[in-house]
Amino acid sequence: NDRLTVCDVHLGKAEMERHAESKVIVAVRVRPLSEDEQERNEESIVFCPDEHNLLVSQEGLVERAFSFNMVFRPECSQQEIFQTTGMRKLIDMAIEGYTCTVFAFGQTGSGKTYTITGPHSLFSEDSQESELEGLMQRSVAYLLERVQHSDELFQLCASYSEIYNEQVRDLLNPWLTYSLAVRGSTTSGFYVENLSVVEFCNLEGFMTLLERGMQNRQSSSQTQNEHSSRSHSILTLYIKHTLTGAEPVAVARGKLCIVDLARGSERVKDRDSDTEKLLEETGNINRSLLTLGKCITALVDPKKRTGHIPYRDSKLTMLLSDSLGGEGITLMIACVSPTAGNLQETMNTLRYSSKAKRIKNKPVAKSD
């Protein structure tokens, strides 16, 4: 209605203030031993004495102790993860006009996909399978439930993109254009030029989009799993919320970004002709993860927060600058494998995650 003044607002400031202390929440999830690992009599070296502490311990000797906002034991269910990580709060905030972000991070095989989409990537009618649905499906189901039970007006849209080798690709575009330009600035915010933003109004509509994006992500390479573990994917839900009762009419535009991060530091396996390409990929992934780490470390430090944040140093951080630098909450879920064979990668993941939150890790003497 032209006669009504429309203004963009951020709602629920008081609510936000309660979160100010914990802008970045770091959770660690330890996956259970797989059947193969159990058959090989491998044992877990990662222990969760309580819901905040985690020990990496081999042959009874503590290698290192870490503290995080949340620690999830291997037996934690998908529902518990959704509930305890406070995903509902992030979605409530996105409805109120904030930009919130969830990252899953960790080495290949540590449970990132399981956490984000579950072992079955799509919604399931089967109640046993639906118990295994990941954060993405649960978040969208909760968002739709909130929207459907509200008298206010909502418009829900989604985009799904991938960053591979510092090139951005639109996973919802049938032409699969690589290297979309990223425009904007740190002050005005960055965006991907010509990225498809598609409206959905129910679960089926969202699932059709998600399925299309996932298929496009997989079909881009013959070595499907490898490709998806070497690219970052960003699913963004855009929530336009119009408060009809307010005068003038108020519009809140919030976002929820769900990011599956590639793991860069993994050793490049010998594969002759592929090695050079893999090294380049690894370099790009490492650089973007390093930049993300630098941005988060600067943002959680009140002294550095107002200074220069190096968003421009990678496409990933450019695209996440509004969520990282804004007032919304960032939830990092670090996934770790439990066995000794993964010790190095597990330590890398835990150290990286520790830096994101200024938590003092208890120094534990190595008792050898």
Bind-site residues:
106-113
Find the part of the chain contacting ligand ADP (CB under 6 A) among 113-121, 123-131, 272-280, 289-297.
113-121
User: Which CB atom, from 100 or from 116, has the smaller least distance to ligand ADP?
Assistant: 116
97 binds ligand ADP (CB under 6 A): no
Please say whether the dihedral angle defined by the alpha carbons of residues 188, 135, 235 and 224, taken in this order, is positive or negative: positive
Closest distance of CB 114 from ligand ADP, Å: 3
Query: Are the CB atoms for 65 and 361 separated by under 8 Å?
Result: yes
Using the rule CB under 6 A, give the single segment among 111-119, 173-181, 197-205, 358-366 that binds ligand ADP.
111-119
Hey, which residues between 200 and 239 contact ligand ADP (CB under 6 A)? 229
Number of residues that bind ligand ADP (CB under 6 A): 14
Q: Is 264 in the site for ligand ADP (CB under 6 A)?
A: no
Part in contact with ligand ADP (CB under 6 A); list of ranges 89-97, 105-113, 294-302, 360-368: 105-113
Residue 312 CB neighbours (<10 A): 15
DSSP 133-188: --HHHHHHHHHHHHHHT-SSEEEEEEEEEEEETTEEEETT-TT---SPPEEEETTT
Contact pick of 22, 57, 67, 108 for ligand ADP (by CB under 6 A): 108
CB nearest ligand ADP: which residue? 111
Q: What is the DSSP string of 95-135?
A: HTT-EEEEEEE-STTSSHHHHHT-SS-S--SSHHHHTT--H
CB 96 to ligand ADP: min, Å: 31
- For ligand ADP, give the closer residue by CB, 232 or 241: 232
Separation between Cα atoms, residue 82 and residue 95, nearest integer Å: 17
By beta-carbon proximity to ligand ADP, the closer residue of 84 and 194 is 84
> Residue 186 carries which side chain, given as an amino acid letter?
T
Residues 6 or more apart whose CB falls under 8 angstroms from that of 342 comprise: 107, 110, 336
Judged by beta carbon, residue 111 or residue 325, the one nearer ligand ADP is 111
Tokens of 221: 């390479």
Binding of residue 32 to ligand ADP (CB under 6 A): yes
* Residue 196 or 216 with smaller CB distance to ligand ADP: 216
Q: Find the shortest distance in angstroms from Cβ 47 to ligand ADP.
A: 16
Retrieve residue 351's tokens.
């150290």
Q: Does 265 bind ligand ADP (CB under 6 A)?
A: no
Smallest gap, in angstroms, from Cβ of residue 227 to ligand ADP?
Answer: 12
Closest approach of ligand ADP to the CB of residue 116, in Å: 8
Secondary element (H or E) of residue 351: helix 343-356
Q: Is 124 in the site for ligand ADP (CB under 6 A)?
A: no
- Judged by CB under 6 A, the chain residues 330 through 359 that form the site for ligand ADP are 335
Piece of 89-97, 103-111, 159-167, 307-315 that binds ligand ADP (CB under 6 A): 103-111
138 makes contact with ligand ADP (CB under 6 A): no
Q: Which residues contact 158 (CB under 8 A, 6 or more apart)?
A: 172, 197, 198, 200, 206, 209, 210, 235, 236, 237, 238
Tell the residue number behind the tokens 């941005």, with chain if given: 295
Instruction: Report the residue number, 229 or 321, with the smaller CB distance to ligand ADP.
Output: 229
116 closest CA partner among 10, 293, 306, 256: 256
Q: How far apart are CA 126 and CA 106, in angstroms?
A: 29
Residue 106 binds ligand ADP, judged by CB under 6 A: yes
Burial of 170 (0-12, 13-18, 19+ CB in 10 A): buried
Taking CB under 6 A as the rule, does residue 110 contact ligand ADP?
yes
Closer Cβ to ligand ADP, 132 or 290, answer by number: 132
Give the rounded distance of the alpha carbon of 315 from its chain centre: 15
Residues that bind ligand ADP (CB under 6 A): 31-32, 34, 106, 108-114, 119, 229, 335
